[in-house]
Amino acid sequence: MDFEAWWLIFVPLLFGLGWLAARFDIKQMLSETRNLPDSYFKGLNFLLNEEPDRAIDAFVEVAKLDSETTELHFALGSLFRRRGEMERAIRVHQSLLFRSDLPLAQRDHAQHELAQDYLKAGMLDRAEEAFAVLKQTAFALPALRALIRIYESEHDWGRAIDAVDSLRTLVDEPVPQLVHYYCEQAQAALAIKPTADVHAAQQALTQAVRAAEAAQVAPDSPSLVRVAMIRAGIAGSLQDGMAKRKHLESILKQSPEFAGLIAQDLLAHYTESGDAATGLNLLHAHYQQYPSLDLFNVVFRAMRAQQNASSAWAFARASLQSHPSLLGLDRFLEAELAQAEQERGADTTVQVAVPGADLLLLRSLINRHTQRLDRYVCRSCGFQARRYYWQCPGCNAWETYKPRRLEEIE
């Protein structure tokens, strides 16, 4: 193709257009910069000098002067919430919602931020209302998760279950705590006075097992241990001894580390059936494979009551040699003193495991050092409790307690 000289005209023309565009952008930038309030630059300066409190005050002034700074409002609200200044965070996000010109996407964002403010402030009723509005928005997933936490804290298990069902329509993820929700419903039905609703409890437990299967919960999981324990309690109330024994012994087989939680009930059932020795032998054999302090306490007391002090002491000595434990020794001395006190009323000659020993003094000295060890501990937040919890009272996490005392874990 031949070169045409008139094409050279386009070169200076394109250059001129580029120069004009650059001049326009620079003028626009300078104009916008001049329009920014001085407080904006003061805030940036305070941030660079690591003075966050003064920077916040400066940015608040910017937000007051220019109501169009939506993103700055969001940033300030989130910052106030993180700092625990909930009243200021709520005011910031409410001011956004009051704006009639706010786009729908940003309105939903402001609604979500406000709901989080209410939740952190402990205003659960308002938080629930604010999150409920978001069920049909882009924030539906975090809103439903927050609603589940709220219903948990309110012990509204029915609504928590409904919220989980809604959540599963949005995302395919297992919700293992759903098993505990049904267990809570079962226990609530059994607690009805004067007569427990056994049928409702059994239905709830059936749903719990289905939820466990859907979530592919392991057979030895704490949630299924809880189901078996509640079923054993129901069987006991219905005078169905064989079913009660079946449920309790299933825990020994499938979740052996939970034996300490059900050992006393299982032994009591064998005793009521006139077969206390068989129950003791079963627990003793289980202890040899899966030792724990709670199980040690049950086995030692049963030996002391069914057999004699010598055999009980032999068991305790062998156990403490294999698994040294101050708490175990404290339990042994406590049981020994209780048994001695009981026998003293019937017989003036009391056989004790350690003749001549001042067990009361010894136990009082040891007990002072074992008080802090005689607790269950949450693996998530470290909250310690004297009783076993399926849900931690400190952080509300599920299944974070091991069925072992603090001394056994350390």
**Above 80 in pLDDT, residue 97?**
yes
Range in 202-206, 265-269, 287-291, 313-317 with the lowest mean pLDDT: 313-317
Domain residue extents for the chain:
174-254, 263-373, 375-410
pLDDT digits (tens, 9 = 90+) for 98-120: 878 788 998 999 999 999 999 99
Q: Which residues in 149-186 are b (16+ Cβ under 10 Å) and which e?
A: bbbbeeebbebbbebbeebeeeeeeebbbbbbbbbbbb
Q: Which residues in 346-379 are b (16+ Cβ under 10 Å) and which e?
A: eeeeeeebeeeeebeebbeebbeebeebbebbbe
Instruction: Report helix, strand or coil for 218.
Output: coil
Query: Between 15 and 139, where is the model more confident?
Result: 139
At 89 the pLDDT is 85
- Six-digit token pair at 187? 């226990």
Query: Between 34 and 235, where is the model more confident?
Result: 235
At 51 the pLDDT is 57
At 34 the pLDDT is 45
Query: Between 34 and 208, where is the model more confident?
Result: 208
Rounded average pLDDT over 3-13: 53
Report the distance separating Cα 269 and Cα 292, nearest Å: 21
Give CA angle at 83 (79, 87), nearest 5°: 85
Question: What residues form DSSP beta bridges with 384?
Answer: 377
At 324 the pLDDT is 77
So what's the architecture of 263-373 in CATH?
Alpha Horseshoe (1.25)
Closest alpha carbon to 231 in 203, 259, 269: 203
Report the distance separating Cα 15 and Cα 10, nearest Å: 8
Task: Give the per-residue SS3 of 295-306.
Answer: HHHHHHHHHHHH
Instruction: Report helix, strand or coil for 402.
Output: coil
pLDDT digits (tens, 9 = 90+) for 179-224: 999 999 999 999 987 778 999 999 999 999 999 998 889 999 999 9
pLDDT digits (tens, 9 = 90+) for 150-179: 999 999 999 999 999 999 889 888 888 999
Closest alpha carbon to 53 in 64, 43, 40, 67: 43
Contacts of 263 (CB under 8 A, 6+ apart): 283, 294, 295, 298, 299
Residues 405 and 373 sit within 8 Å (Cβ to Cβ) = yes
